[in-house]
A and B are shown apart, each in its own frame.
Chain A
């Protein structure tokens, strides 16, 4: 089901949590809401679910205005970070709950509910655990049960709030791949909230980057990583280094020297230069480059991360070098970013 969030604003006791957010989600899409805590991503998810009511704006499921519907009528599957399983029910009863509480002819027979529960348990790879209680399961297993329970009602949209947040790193990676497989198999429109960018970039069809109650950028992993459209996104996604610079005569300057980066279209004046630490070319002779004194050098997995002090103000930035690169031993290093972006200084 398509989901359309139209100019939604949400205030909690006068404190705005979301400002005028709009978002179109295509049917069958897997969308990640990514942002630091307090960015409003969970609020947006809860608004879609109907667990909160928007202060202004509307939310459409397909053509229907869902903001007028109660939570029960919206038919969404919601999965919480801490599972929120019903402790006093077996795994099978948990999964069947959404079907059992239906009224009249839409309620399947007890036998049908049982069949459906064990089918879903097969799907989440927990066959044979029907009779267990949640207390007898591991964290990863509980989250799978929570997902199966959400899927049992054939939801219009599946909403996951930091679904892997409470799990350890290995289980997390495993479940991430598994969620992608399930999504490909079932095709539910899915929105999940995360503050883990690796999770968002790896898993989602499109990533929605949020900050301070607004959407900063919406795009595929490639778009978000390669062409960030704001200093926030550049800084938040992946590693980045930032330097204060000046634009003059179609050139980028640091202090009183041009650094060999042409910027014919950038407006004149103060700006901030962003680049990725690994995306740099070392140069031997510095005529038009960024040069700095090595302040620290650390080995990080497959690369060496070198911290440089640039210019008179001793601005610190990081670049990454191959482990065996001789430059890491030198006291001065000169480089030029291969790919970079300028944002006018705020």
Chain B
């Protein structure tokens, strides 16, 4: 028995140390699963979050794709490569730029109306974006029996057709620049005069590259404007302060809990603390592996679920104390304590899960972050409070820590 108990404790010790090491250093060279890999929300990293909406009742998928390419292109050209662009609903686009220094400049840069033009080598504008009727990615052979390759097909309106015919006629063998926001996005060489308003741009395109170029050209003739309907800008300093304060507060708060449990429940408290440390390790790894974006309320969610983890142990330990007072043996007291406390613990966690679940599905932004960490935390904490603590307590008893006094019995 003593051997078995020591073995159980040893395994738990190894688990705790391993989880601690993994959550701190991670696995492999890029530190997978470590705390450093957890993605930070804009309220922690600082940055801007903007939601644009097309000011037109019906917007096609193609038009939205073009608008997204435009925003993506502008972000790339300005060096905000960390930025993310995502479609929301039918006609909204959310842009997130972490760590941007001058947020207002960024907002104005990416939000302006698209300026697409075609120019010759001397820089003279030949025609403008509104004369392009459509631009699409196509795949096909460029010459007879040639290999199939992606290319971009352009279609002009009547005015564009005439202008393009004149432009190509006088620029054969030369380059025509396609310019978006003063940035050359394509520089095809004119091979022949094109008079039917149907041009193709070929080159070493990948499918994606052709799609991107077509989208950008389409964005030059978007029939709608993108209005900012929501904007949030968090200064980088505030974000950094928020993160360090959050981590410090979490560490101090959890430190206090560890001490409190040790004083209030002695040996049982040690088991709970041990389980709580394992919980922290598992939580960090879960956040990292599940690619959860950590927000400030998210940190609060983690801390709150740590409190819930301790609660489960408190319910169990109070039960064990009562059982001991009724002269039960230590082993049966522990057994009954765990089994009798179970329904109450399950109920409590289920109701909190209901609240967190509703927040997750209906909330947005930071509230979602809170709900996510709370849910993950509750699930992990149930496991550590019920299973891990139990193994440790049993291990301690088997290993020879028998005196009921250490388990909270005061009277005898």
Same complex origin of A and B: no
B residues contacting A by CB (< 8 A) are: none
